[in-house]
A and B are shown apart, each in its own frame.
Chain A
Amino acid sequence: DGGITQSPKYLFRKEGQNVTLSCEQNLNHDAMYWYRQDPGQGLRLIYYSQIVNDFQKGDIAEGYSVSREKKESFPLTVTSAQKNPTAFYLCASSTGTDNQPQHFGDGTRLSIL
């Protein structure tokens, strides 16, 4: 079955370290997204990519970086510049065309030690 795989499920980071969250999709979707989910704040868009080798900042991109070297993969790096990285991170993908909903992965919970 096609879907989105996020790994790891739980991730711990020491302060001052960068950490990379993996997101892979086999849905042949052009567009991919990273969201951050915090209690009471819903989902906030970090970065999105409409096509390979192109990506755009979302609403809360500071302290994060991404790459899109392959259609299937959209890794997110949480850098040491992100002051409050503890959160639940969700990756999503879509065909990118009008009216199509997003498909979500199971998420990665990042905690700071």
Chain B
Amino acid sequence: AQSVSQHNHHVILSEAASLELGCNYSYGGTVNLFWYVQYPGQHLQLLLKYFSGDPLVKGIKGFEAEFIKSKFSFNLRKPSVQWSDTAEYFCAVTPPRGGYQKVTFGTGTKLQVIP
């Protein structure tokens, strides 16, 4: 069964600091990878996704993620965080093809950015 691990449960950063949130998955084949963000009081939104091709994926609001197949990782990065990035971030994985795609979510990382 596929699983997703997010080791950082709560991260506190000052504005302008660099961000890297870890995401590791376990699955025996190729996967699709997603990062979702949940701002306070809002619904989950897609931040970025990787299906194939360039392993460095650019998303909205200056976020990017790098897929490293050998490490089964898909870490989320941002060079300089802002207070408005305070949110909970979820990594998710699905197998690449075959009808219904069961999405497996990580446990989430709460990011708090201090002005």
Contact = CB atoms under 8 A, between A and B. Distances in A.
Contact of B100 (A35, A90, A96, A105): A96
A107 B88 CA distance: 15
A88 to B, nearest CB: 10
A42 B108 contact: yes
B46 A101 contact: yes
B32 A99 contact: yes
Contact of B90 (A43, A48, A56): A43
Interface in A49-102: 50, 56, 90, 92, 94, 96, 98-102
Given A35-B105, A99-B96, 12 more contacts: A40-B9, A40-B108, A44-B105, A45-B103, A50-B99, A50-B100, A90-B43, A96-B99, A99-B49, A101-B49, A102-B103, A106-B43
Interface of A: 4, 31, 33, 35, 40-45, 48, 50, 56, 90, 92, 94, 96, 98-102, 104-107
15 contacts: A4-B43, A33-B103, A40-B107, A43-B105, A50-B100, A96-B99, A98-B96, A99-B32, A99-B49, A99-B51, A101-B34, A101-B46, A104-B36, A104-B43, A107-B43
